[in-house]
Protein backbone atom coordinates (compact mmCIF):
# COMPACT_ATOMS: atom_id res chain seq x y z
CA UNK A 1 0.00 0.00 0.00
CA UNK A 2 2.80 2.42 0.88
CA UNK A 3 4.55 1.64 -2.42
CA UNK A 4 1.42 2.59 -4.38
CA UNK A 5 1.14 5.87 -2.48
CA UNK A 6 4.80 6.68 -3.13
CA UNK A 7 4.43 5.86 -6.83
CA UNK A 8 1.24 7.90 -7.04
CA UNK A 9 2.81 10.96 -5.42
CA UNK A 10 5.91 10.60 -7.61
CA UNK A 11 3.79 10.42 -10.76
CA UNK A 12 1.73 13.43 -9.64
CA UNK A 13 4.88 15.42 -8.91
CA UNK A 14 6.36 14.57 -12.31
CA UNK A 15 3.12 15.59 -14.02
CA UNK A 16 3.16 18.99 -12.29
CA UNK A 17 6.84 19.46 -13.19
CA UNK A 18 6.16 18.59 -16.84
CA UNK A 19 3.23 21.03 -16.92
CA UNK A 20 5.47 23.80 -15.59
CA UNK A 21 8.25 23.11 -18.09
CA UNK A 22 6.15 22.70 -21.26
CA UNK A 23 5.82 26.46 -22.00
CA UNK A 24 9.60 26.83 -21.86
CA UNK A 25 10.14 23.87 -24.15
CA UNK A 26 7.69 25.22 -26.71
CA UNK A 27 9.48 28.54 -27.00
CA UNK A 28 12.95 29.06 -28.37
CA UNK A 29 15.55 31.46 -27.08
CA UNK A 30 18.40 32.89 -29.11
CA UNK A 31 21.29 34.21 -27.01
CA UNK A 32 22.77 37.38 -28.50
CA UNK A 33 25.58 37.99 -26.03
CA UNK A 34 24.29 40.14 -23.17
CA UNK A 35 20.65 39.81 -24.25
CA UNK A 36 18.42 37.14 -25.75
CA UNK A 37 15.53 36.90 -28.17
CA UNK A 38 12.65 34.68 -27.03
CA UNK A 39 10.56 33.28 -29.86
CA UNK A 40 6.98 32.31 -29.16
CA UNK A 41 4.86 29.89 -31.14
CA UNK A 42 2.68 31.47 -33.83
CA UNK A 43 -0.70 32.70 -32.63
CA UNK A 44 -3.74 32.03 -34.83
CA UNK A 45 -6.89 33.93 -33.80
CA UNK A 46 -10.00 31.76 -33.57
CA UNK A 47 -13.06 32.45 -35.67
CA UNK A 48 -14.59 34.91 -33.17
CA UNK A 49 -11.46 37.08 -33.08
CA UNK A 50 -10.45 39.62 -35.65
CA UNK A 51 -6.82 40.11 -36.53
CA UNK A 52 -4.12 38.27 -38.37
CA UNK A 53 -1.96 35.40 -37.19
CA UNK A 54 1.40 36.54 -35.82
CA UNK A 55 4.60 35.44 -34.14
CA UNK A 56 5.92 37.28 -31.09
CA UNK A 57 9.60 37.92 -30.40
CA UNK A 58 10.84 39.31 -27.06
CA UNK A 59 14.20 41.06 -26.63
CA UNK A 60 15.33 40.87 -23.00
CA UNK A 61 16.70 42.40 -20.82
CA UNK A 62 16.19 45.93 -22.16
CA UNK A 63 19.08 47.29 -20.10
CA UNK A 64 21.48 44.99 -22.01
CA UNK A 65 20.27 46.04 -25.48
CA UNK A 66 22.40 48.33 -27.63
CA UNK A 67 21.03 51.77 -28.58
CA UNK A 68 20.11 50.37 -32.01
CA UNK A 69 19.07 46.73 -32.47
CA UNK A 70 19.38 45.09 -35.87
CA UNK A 71 19.13 41.32 -35.61
CA UNK A 72 18.65 38.53 -38.13
CA UNK A 73 16.34 35.96 -36.54
CA UNK A 74 15.70 32.29 -37.34
CA UNK A 75 12.09 32.13 -36.16
CA UNK A 76 11.23 28.55 -37.15
CA UNK A 77 14.51 26.98 -35.98
CA UNK A 78 15.47 25.50 -39.35
CA UNK A 79 18.95 27.07 -39.30
CA UNK A 80 18.08 29.71 -41.94
CA UNK A 81 17.29 33.36 -41.18
CA UNK A 82 13.63 34.37 -41.50
CA UNK A 83 13.57 38.06 -40.51
CA UNK A 84 15.74 41.11 -40.05
CA UNK A 85 14.34 43.19 -37.19
CA UNK A 86 15.57 46.73 -36.49
CA UNK A 87 14.56 49.24 -33.83
CA UNK A 88 16.02 51.95 -31.61
CA UNK A 89 16.04 51.56 -27.83
CA UNK A 90 15.40 54.96 -26.24
CA UNK A 91 16.65 55.61 -22.70
CA UNK A 92 13.20 56.88 -21.71
CA UNK A 93 11.05 53.80 -21.02
CA UNK A 94 7.90 55.76 -21.93
CA UNK A 95 9.19 56.92 -25.33
CA UNK A 96 7.33 55.50 -28.33
CA UNK A 97 8.99 52.62 -30.17
CA UNK A 98 9.03 51.90 -33.90
CA UNK A 99 10.22 48.76 -35.68
CA UNK A 100 11.20 47.74 -39.18
CA UNK A 101 10.89 44.08 -40.15
CA UNK A 102 12.33 42.84 -43.40
CA UNK A 103 11.14 39.31 -44.15
CA UNK A 104 13.71 36.94 -45.62
CA UNK A 105 11.16 34.11 -45.57
CA UNK A 106 7.87 34.83 -47.44
CA UNK A 107 5.92 33.37 -44.51
CA UNK A 108 6.20 36.75 -42.73
CA UNK A 109 4.96 40.21 -43.71
CA UNK A 110 7.13 43.33 -43.80
CA UNK A 111 6.68 46.16 -41.32
CA UNK A 112 7.97 49.71 -41.84
CA UNK A 113 8.12 52.18 -38.97
CA UNK A 114 5.41 50.30 -37.06
CA UNK A 115 4.50 51.32 -33.52
CA UNK A 116 1.23 50.07 -32.05
CA UNK A 117 -0.74 49.54 -35.25
CA UNK A 118 -2.79 46.61 -34.03
CA UNK A 119 -2.82 43.40 -32.08
CA UNK A 120 -0.72 41.49 -34.64
CA UNK A 121 1.56 44.38 -35.77
CA UNK A 122 3.28 46.15 -32.92
CA UNK A 123 6.32 46.90 -30.82
CA UNK A 124 5.91 47.61 -27.09
CA UNK A 125 8.05 47.74 -23.98
CA UNK A 126 6.81 45.52 -21.16
CA UNK A 127 8.82 45.49 -17.94
CA UNK A 128 12.39 44.63 -18.97
CA UNK A 129 11.51 43.32 -22.46
CA UNK A 130 10.71 44.73 -25.87
CA UNK A 131 8.02 42.71 -27.66
CA UNK A 132 7.63 42.68 -31.43
CA UNK A 133 4.69 40.97 -33.12
CA UNK A 134 5.20 40.12 -36.79
CA UNK A 135 2.15 39.18 -38.88
CA UNK A 136 2.21 35.94 -40.84
CA UNK A 137 1.43 36.00 -44.55
CA UNK A 138 -1.83 34.34 -45.59
CA UNK A 139 -1.22 30.94 -47.12
Whether 18 shows a pLDDT value over 60: the answer reads no
pLDDT value of residue 27: 56
- The answer to whether residue 16 is domain-embedded is no
Question: Which percentage of the chain shows pLDDT scores above 90?
Answer: 65
Residue 28 has a pLDDT of 76
Of residues 139 and 58, the one with the higher pLDDT is 58
Domain assignment present for residue 107? The answer is: yes
Of residues 94 and 45, the one with the higher pLDDT is 94
Mean pLDDT of 106-124: 95
Q: Is residue 63 part of a domain?
A: yes
How large is the C-alpha radius of gyration of the chain? 19
* 61: pLDDT strictly greater than 50: yes
Q: Could you tell me the pTM of the whole model? A: 0.78
Evaluate whether residue 23 is within a structural domain: no
Q: Establish if 129 belongs to a structural domain.
A: yes
Q: 82 or 18: which carries more pLDDT confidence?
A: 82
> Would residue 82 count as lying in a domain?
yes
Domain membership of residue 87 (yes or no) is yes
The pLDDT-based confidence of 19 (bands split at 50, 70, 90) is very low
Number of folded domains that form the chain = 1
Q: Which domain holds residue 104?
A: 28-135
| pLDDT for 21 | 44
- Asked whether residue 67 is assigned to any structural domain, the reply reads yes
Listed in sequence order, the residues at least 6 apart from 103 whose beta carbon sits closer than 8 Å to its beta carbon are 82, 83, 109, 110, 134, 137
Of 71 and 6, more confident:
71
Amino acid sequence: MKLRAILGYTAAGMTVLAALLVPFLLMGAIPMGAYSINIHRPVYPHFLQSGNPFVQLDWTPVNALPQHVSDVVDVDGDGRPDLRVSFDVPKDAKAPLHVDVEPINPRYLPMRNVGKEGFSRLIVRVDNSILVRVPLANR
